[in-house]
Amino acid sequence: MGRQKHVHMIITGRVQGVWFRASTKDVADRLGIKGWVRNLPDGAVEVDAIGDVKSMEQFIEWCYQGPPGAHVVNVEIKELEPVADFDSFKIVR
């Protein structure tokens, strides 16, 4: 396991009702990213994710695009200490 990167993101724009959470999980699973994604009451999507640096860079890049139908306006990223005990990537409510 290489160097880990842990980020918390708030993604705004047209990101609910466009399969953003399910698509985020698919991408995370493919890249070996662990963590979670959920919708926020204000229409944004929140992500807490950890993975190796190279995979996280690809994951973050994808979050700026989102799935077809999404229109991402902003991605607010906060880097955290790489300590988290996630065992998979989940969609939470």
Tell me the catalytic residues: 21, 39
d(CA 86, CA 20): 20
Query: Mind giving me the DSSP string for 27-70?
Result: HHHHHT-EEEEEE-TTS-EEEEEEEEHHHHHHHHHHHHH-STT-
